[in-house]
Amino acid sequence: MNIVQNNKLLKSKKIAGVILKPNDKKIKKYFKKIEKIFHKFNIKILLEYQSALMIDATDGYQFKQLCKKSDFLVTLGGDGTLISVTRRSFKYQKAVMGINLGKLGFLTDIMPNELEIFLKHFLKDDYRIDHRMMIEAKINNKTIVAFNDIVISRKELTGMIELDGFIDNKIFNHYNGDGLIISTPTGSTAYNLSCNGPIVYPLTDAFIVTPISAHSLTQRPLVLPANFKISFKNIDTSDAVVIIDGHDTYNLTQDCTISIKIASSKAKLIHKTQRNYFEVLSNKLNWGTT
């Protein structure tokens, strides 16, 4: 089964830009271990500035400079760290390798004790780069990108939010409930899944639109082609909040619209050649267990 859309590999693998999980007191000992392994394979490590401060190093680089100097990026942490770095590095189009110190590990599939074996294969071009769709959104004349999802939610704890949905400027639905999730296929196993949205194969290009606690049973999750331009207008009397990848927030005031389309470029994730997405789903979601 062909599971990659574009497996163009790195031209150079000599310099790795490393970003550490923020505010993790135990991260230093993990970093020292992986640093030795990278050096063993003659791969130079550059540390991001904030990461360097965390471990009392003095040779950190600002993120922009790190991206320009590195052949690829490495995150040490969990899926959240990788998502953050992927968004920040989007315009530099750097491939990202995730080393997993987290619990779930949908995206970061290389464990610290597997790194040495992986790098042996990596330097022989025995690896793959997955190209994952990202979302580009415009709100209040500001353009933002999302890797997992964009959530439009009520700002207050009480009441509901009302949104009109448009495809290519033509209304297609009216949403009334706690909010709405607009997800990429990669993000389909995140918040979308907890709201009973569908799991979509991550190398697909599609939007998943999933209501959050919809007021009407007629409002169901919807999968749309990625070449559609979709938008949502806040027709409520109260402000809504837009949350990007569970992190950045923006206000969506009454009668304001958020416009969404597929981003011009894709995220690039470095994975083991033998990684099988459906095995990951089975292991993480305990499929087949009783």
Annotated catalytic residue: which of 79, 130, 149, 245? 79
CA dihedral 267, 270, 273, 276 (to 10 degrees): -60
Per the annotation, the verdict on 79 as an active-site residue is yes
User: 159 in the Ramachandran plot: left (φ > 0), alpha (ψ -120 to 50) or beta?
Assistant: left
Q: From start to end of 33-159, where are the E strands? A: 44-47, 72-77, 96-100, 128-132, 135-139, 142-146, 149-154
Amino acid symbol at 79 = D
Amino acid symbol at 208 = I
Full DSSP string of 231-259: EEEE-SSS-EEEEETTTEEEEE-TT-EEE
The DSSP element (H or E) to which 85 belongs, if any, is helix 79-88
Amino acid symbol at 34 = I
Tokens of 74: 């490495």
CB 215 within 8 A of CB 179: no
* Crossing angle of the two packed helices 27-40 and 115-122, in degrees rounded to 10: 40
CB 163 within 8 A of CB 138: no
Question: In terms of DSSP H, where are the helices of 113-189?
Answer: 115-122
Q: Any idea which residues carry the catalytic annotation?
A: 79
